[in-house]
Amino acid sequence: MAKKVVVVSGASSGIGLSIANLLTQKGYVVYGLARRTPQGKHEFSFISTDVTDDAAIHQAVATILEKEKRVDALINCAGMGISGAVEYTSKEEFQKIFDVNVYGTFALTKALIPALRETKGMIINIGSVAGVLTIPFQTFYSMTKVAVSTFSEGLRMELKPFGVRVVTVLGDTKTGFTAAREKQQTTDPGYAKRLEKSVKMMEHDEEHGKDPITVAKVCARLLKKKHPPVAVTVGFKYKLFVFLKRLLPSRLVNTILFVMYGK
Ligand SMILES: NC(=O)c1ccc[n+]([C@@H]2O[C@H](COP(=O)([O-])OP(=O)(O)OC[C@H]3O[C@@H](n4cnc5c(N)ncnc54)[C@H](OP(=O)(O)O)[C@@H]3O)[C@@H](O)[C@H]2O)c1
């Protein structure tokens, strides 16, 4: 039987790199996409691709299909974060994060849907708990991750009759994401200290998060599932948060998040 072919975006570092390496070890033919070449040793094929660039996506997909004639799974992992007060966020910053996290996910998915329909494949979108629990001063990041989850859910229903399975994976991990976050600086006394505290809290969560291999293993298990769940949250703490969000009144959840990240 032909080896299964998996495309992983955001494969130059963090979760995407971990997924690409693990799936290669497991015998999948892996194509990793990102702008920078992957950090450290890697044995998967890498195609330099900016997921916000339609021509680059088209070229990468054409190269993969010409070589492999099939794609069995797509893992959308490319993403970025920004932090700052809404009041001081520019249109350019807004557009950039939506372009990478939302448009990039859509554009690469769209380009691969025909191939995935042929193989009755799978799409895994890396969302975030920040898309379930809105984090102040990360409002735009939370918005993009809500969009990723909603995109995943809609797509899952649209592709179900074709046998293509779609799932979202949520979970905080220790990666270069923390250092890569584009942080707003403000001297506004109404925000400065709160923003600094909020970002520190978030960075602490990420730096004490699980190793990205945990998410990679979850993705590897999902690829084998005929009937995957709509979404998987990685880690007990985050599973509990997501569960409590469903259970508790919104006003209470909002107040807790304000005290933790907004005060
Ligand atoms: N770390 C966490 O705690 C956490 C929690 C929940 C969700 N996530 C999500 O997990 C995903 C991976 O993040 P990570 O934690 O592994 O962070 P990371 O180490 O910073 O990785 C981000 C990846 O996205 C790629 N990327 C960014 N912009 C891109 C673009 N325009 N085109 C192509 N690739 C692009 C980066 O590659 P290049 O810069 O080389 O292009 C890099 O490979 C993101 O979607 C993030 O939102 C992370």
Report the range of poorest mean pLDDT among 44-58, 97-111, 155-169, 233-247: 233-247
Q: Of 31, 88, 103, 141, which is the active-site residue? A: 141
For ligand 1, atom 42, the nearest C-alpha belongs to: 10
For ligand 1, the distance from its centroid to the CA atom of residue 17, given in whole angstroms, is: 9
SS3 content of the chain, % helix, strand, coil (to 5): 55, 15, 30
At 72, list the tokens: 């069995």
Q: Is-contact 231 167, C-beta < 8 A?
A: yes
Cβ–Cβ < 8 Å for 152, 168 = yes
pLDDT class for 206, splitting at 50, 70, 90? confident
pLDDT, tens digit, 9 for 90 and up, residues 24-56: 999 999 999 999 999 888 999 999 999 999 999
| Six token digits for residue 140 | 């735009």
Question: Average pLDDT, stretch 194-222?
Answer: 93
Q: Is the CB of 45 under 6 A from ligand 1?
A: no
Token couple for 172: 């905080």
Q: How does residue 80 score in pLDDT terms, banded at 50, 70 and 90? A: very high
Residue 42: per-residue pLDDT: 92
State in Å: Cα 226 to ligand 1 middle. 27
- Is 87 or 176 the better-scoring residue by pLDDT? 87
Pocket test for ligand 1, best of 175, 203, 242 (most atoms within 8 A of CB): 175
Q: pLDDT at position 93, please? A: 97
CA-to-CA distance for 236 and 240, rounded, in angstroms? Answer: 6
* C-alpha–C-alpha distance, residues 176 and 197, integer Å: 20
In single-letter form, the type of residue at position 40 comes to G
Partners of 48 in the β-ladder: 34
**Domains parsed from the chain with CATH numbers:** 5-262 (3.40.50.720)
* Residue 160 DSSP class: G
Question: What would the mean pLDDT of 207-235 be, rounded to a whole number?
Answer: 95
Active site residue 141: yes
Confidence tier at 177 by pLDDT (50, 70, 90): confident
Phi, psi of 48 (to 5 degrees): -65, 115
The token pair at 188 is 């506004």
Amino acid at 196: E
- Distance, in Å, from the CA atom of 157 to the CA atom of 152, rounded to the nearest integer, reads 9
